[in-house]
């Protein structure tokens, strides 16, 4: 009688601990706007690095923040049509020799004197082309847009990946922020 109760309590504790690991990144004010190359996305991310992540960066561990965007057209007769799916990765590192934080995305690199300056740049996404001109997207139609940001644990060094398993300090992510977007007319 006591053993099934213990199992049930263990399952309940695991389920409740999952709720405690809720999103720690908040997505604020995502917007699609017309740009010269297509439609661009702007959004803000509200988050802070906890003590363990800050310490890891300061000791030379590179953190990879991944921003994912999806745009779909809802259809009543079939699965939703995926119009666009984009990913952008920010690579945050610390160089002890120069005492600067380096933020990289693609081939672009920028150095900052403090961690807070580098995180400010990561938290402000501006003018990211997510739908190219000439795509199947049409202005005036409603689309389902979704955006999220997460710390990519798969790109950590292997010992840190193992340490991150089940450790709340390493779990930094947002939930998918979904909204209905109507694409504005293209800029001419």
Question: Per-residue confidence at 81, pLDDT binned at 50, 70, 90?
Answer: confident
Spatial contact of 71 and 59, defined as CB atoms under 8 Å apart: no
Phi, psi of 147 (to 5 degrees): -140, 145
- Token pair of 165 as six digits: 């398993």
Tell me what percent of the chain is helix, strand and coil, each rounded to the nearest 5: 25, 45, 30
With respect to residue 47, please indicate whether it lies within any of the assigned structural domains.
yes
Q: Is residue 159 scored above 90 in pLDDT?
A: no
Show Cβ contacts of residue 173 under 8 Å, excluding neighbours closer than 6 positions.
Answer: 23, 24, 25, 148, 149, 150, 151
Please tell me the predicted confidence (pLDDT) of residue 14. 45
With respect to residue 133, please indicate whether it lies within any of the assigned structural domains.
yes
With respect to residue 9, please indicate whether it lies within any of the assigned structural domains.
no
Look-up of token digits 């809802």: 74
In the sheet that holds 108-112, the strands lie side by side as 108-112, 100-105, 81-95, 63-73, 142-151, 177-182
With respect to residue 171, please indicate whether it lies within any of the assigned structural domains.
yes
E strand or H helix that includes residue 115: helix 115-122
With respect to residue 168, please indicate whether it lies within any of the assigned structural domains.
yes
- The least confident of 13-27, 82-96, 169-183 is 13-27
Name the domain count of the chain: 1
With respect to residue 14, please indicate whether it lies within any of the assigned structural domains.
no
Q: What is the mean pLDDT of residues 139-157?
A: 90
Terminus-to-terminus CA distance in the chain, angstroms? 73
The chain-wide mean pLDDT, for the chain, equals 85
Please tell me the predicted confidence (pLDDT) of residue 20. 41
With respect to residue 123, please indicate whether it lies within any of the assigned structural domains.
yes
Spatial contact of 98 and 112, defined as CB atoms under 8 Å apart: no
Q: Is residue 34 scored above 50 in pLDDT?
A: yes
**Tens-place pLDDT, residues 86-116:** 999 999 999 999 999 999 998 999 999 999 9
Spatial contact of 42 and 30, defined as CB atoms under 8 Å apart: yes
Q: Measured between alpha carbons, how far is 41 from 171 in angstroms, rounded to an integer?
A: 25
Look-up of token digits 């003590």: 51
Domain span at 154: 25-182
pLDDT-above-70 percentage for the chain: 86
Q: What is the mean pLDDT of residues 79-90?
A: 92
- Token pair of 63 as six digits: 């953190």
* Top-confidence range, 160-164, 175-179, 184-188: 175-179
Q: What is the mean pLDDT of residues 120-142?
A: 87
38 φψ region: left (φ > 0), alpha (ψ -120 to 50), beta (else): left
**Tens-place pLDDT, residues 35-73:** 899 899 999 999 999 999 999 999 999 999 999 999 998
């Amino acid at each position: 009688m006591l053993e099934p109760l213990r199992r049930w309590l263990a399952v309940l504790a695991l389920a409740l601990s999952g709720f405690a690991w809720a999103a720690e990144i908040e997505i604020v004010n995502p917007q699609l706007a017309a740009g010269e190359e297509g439609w661009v996305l702007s959004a803000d991310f509200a988050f802070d690095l906890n003590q363990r992540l800050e310490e890891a960066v300061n000791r030379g561990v590179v953190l990879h923040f991944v921003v994912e965007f999806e745009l779909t057209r809802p259809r009543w007769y079939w699965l939703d049509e995926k119009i666009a799916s984009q990913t952008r990765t920010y690579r945050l590192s610390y160089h002890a020799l120069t005492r600067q934080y380096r933020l990289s995305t693609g081939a672009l690199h920028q150095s900052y004197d403090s961690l807070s300056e580098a995180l400010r740049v990561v938290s402000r996404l501006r003018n990211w082309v997510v739908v190219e001109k000439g795509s199947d997207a049409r202005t005036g139609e409603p689309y389902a847009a979704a955006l999220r940001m997460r710390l990519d644990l798969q790109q950590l060094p292997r010992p840190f990946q193992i340490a991150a398993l089940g450790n709340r300090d390493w779990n930094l992510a947002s939930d998918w922020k979904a909204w209905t977007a109507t694409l504005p007319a293209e800029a001419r």
